[in-house]
Amino acid sequence: MTTTIGVLAFVVALLVSVMIHEWGHYKTARHYGMKVSEFFVGFGPRLWSVRRGETEYGVKAIPAGGYVRIIGMTDLEPVAPEDEARAFYRAPARQRAVVLSAGSFMHLVIGFVLLLVVFGILGRPQLSTTVGSVSTCVPTAASASCTAGDPASPASAAGIQPGDVLVSFNGTPITSWEQATTLIRSAPGETVSIVVKRDGNQVPLTVTVASAQRTAASGGTTAVGLLGVSSQLVMERSNPLAAVGQAFSGMWQILKGTVQALWSLPQKVVELWQTLFSDQPRDPNGLVGVVGAADISGQLAGGGDGYPVVARAGDILLLIAGFNLFVGVFNMLPLLPLDGGHLAVVGYESVRSWLARRRGRPDPGRVDMNKLMPLAYAVFVLFVGLTVLLVTADIVKPVQL
């Protein structure tokens, strides 16, 4: 049930993001006096619509995006004489650039707001010094589960209980779970004193730390101490000022990762193709489509035993924030039919007009979009091919967290 909720949450968030993206185009176009004739969510057959003033708002059958129709966006559509003065191409280059960039800008706003909600309202899960669970045994391997022949865990044998707060380990005060883990792992086979706080009282206990062989960072194996306890996760919220800083920092990290991902896109496509026809699992850091992202959202919602529901919600919001930031950058690539492609055309027209003025020549006017359509079609075909590859991989070999 929670997995389904996670998938639906991502789908709804995606549609809302599309609406906000298009609203950015719509609002700025209206602000500059351009005529907006349609504002639709989805493509294909019209399911419902209503006209308010000069704009028709509605929903179409295929929920794969949305669009705002601004009169005079390209040469490929006729402009009625009465709309000529309000056509997109009549506006100054700066205004056209603002309208074209507004959609991607709204994705950046969405990403920032979601990060702010995660850090400042929901909080992030942190390990505490409170015992969350006590293992009944010491497994023979790090990934193994308890069997009938496994010895009882030191924590269980000593009487440590869930809810106990670690106060000290062999006389050393405990200030964090990470510190406690380091102390425990460094004392294999030793008999130590542990003080826990239980029901407001400090309880001294004597524990013989178990010794187990685990893989060392340098290779081979090494003996480490095990107690058989896990931490209780707590949600840590930042104050408003710190949350703003964390949101900006998180946004910057995601944007850097997005640029790096786009730069290595050809390599990632090849790797995805090879993975699809091999026994290798999908790389969680590789390319993922909308279907895969929705599936990941479902996995995050499912979470694990003891993982707070609020933390799962935060993970889903982080996924949606990252997706929005990626789309915001991707949409600004200077390729038609993306907004960045149209923005590049506006920039080219502006530079060409400036050079003509400098040379005392007449303004060469607008770029003939008909000449650019073969390039736009080629890019569109590449996008369709990439989409088919991603959907196939997401269905046949989904990413497992």
Cα–Cα distance measured from residue 336 to residue 339, given in angstroms and rounded to the nearest whole number? 7
Q: Which residue has the tokens 């705002």?
A: 68
Distances (CA, A) of 198 to 159, 164, 167, 266, 356: 11, 5, 10, 57, 82
Distances (CA, A) of 104 to 17, 72, 216, 330: 10, 21, 46, 9
Indicate whether 37 belongs to any domain: no
Q: Which residue has the tokens 């770029």?
A: 367
Query: The domain spanning residue 145 has which CATH number?
Result: 2.30.42.10
Indicate whether 199 belongs to any domain: yes
Q: Is 231 strand, coil or helix?
A: strand
Q: Of residues 22, 82, 236, 349, which has the active-site annotation?
A: 22
CB–CB of 147/169 below 8 Å? no
Indicate whether 190 belongs to any domain: yes
Indicate whether 167 belongs to any domain: yes
Tell me: pLDDT of 143 over 60: no
Does 257 or 221 have the greater pLDDT score? 257
Distance of CA 151 to the CA centre of its chain: 43
Indicate whether 231 belongs to any domain: yes
Q: What is the DSSP string of 176-206?
A: -HHHHHHHHHT-TT-EEEEEEEETTEEEEEE
Tell me: pLDDT of 216 over 80: no
Tell me: pLDDT of 240 over 80: yes
Smallest CA-to-CA distance from 389 within 280, 268, 260 is with 268
Pull the structure tokens for residue 94: 């700066």
Pull the structure tokens for residue 387: 């989409």
pLDDT tens digits, residue range 148-188? 667 788 999 999 999 999 999 999 999 999 999 999 999 99
Quick count: other Cβ atoms within 10 Å of Cβ 284?
11
Cα–Cα distance measured from residue 36 to residue 51, given in angstroms and rounded to the nearest whole number? 12
User: Would you place residue 110 in the very low, low, confident or very high pLDDT band (cuts 50, 70, 90)?
Assistant: very high
Q: Which residue has the tokens 């280059």?
A: 93
Pull the structure tokens for residue 149: 């022949």
Q: What is the pTM of this model?
A: 0.86
Give 209: exposed, middle or buried? Use CB within 10 Å, 0-12, 13-18, 19+: buried
Cα–Cα distance measured from residue 7 to residue 141, given in angstroms and rounded to the nearest whole number? 35
Tell me: pLDDT of 330 over 60: yes
Q: Is 221 strand, coil or helix?
A: strand
Indicate whether 391 belongs to any domain: no
Distances (CA, A) of 124 to 116, 167, 237, 280: 12, 24, 7, 32
Indicate whether 158 belongs to any domain: yes
pLDDT tens digits, residue range 18-41? 999 999 999 999 999 999 999 998
Domain span at residue 142? Answer: 126-236
Smallest CA-to-CA distance from 158 within 204, 213, 224, 198 is with 204
Give me the sign of the Cα torsion angle 248, 252, 253, 254. Answer: positive
- Asked if omega into 337 is within 30° of 0 (cis), the reply is yes
User: Is 178 known to be catalytic?
Assistant: no
What is the tally of structural domains in the chain?
1
Pull the structure tokens for residue 79: 């402009």
pLDDT recorded at residue 24? 96
Indicate whether 310 belongs to any domain: no
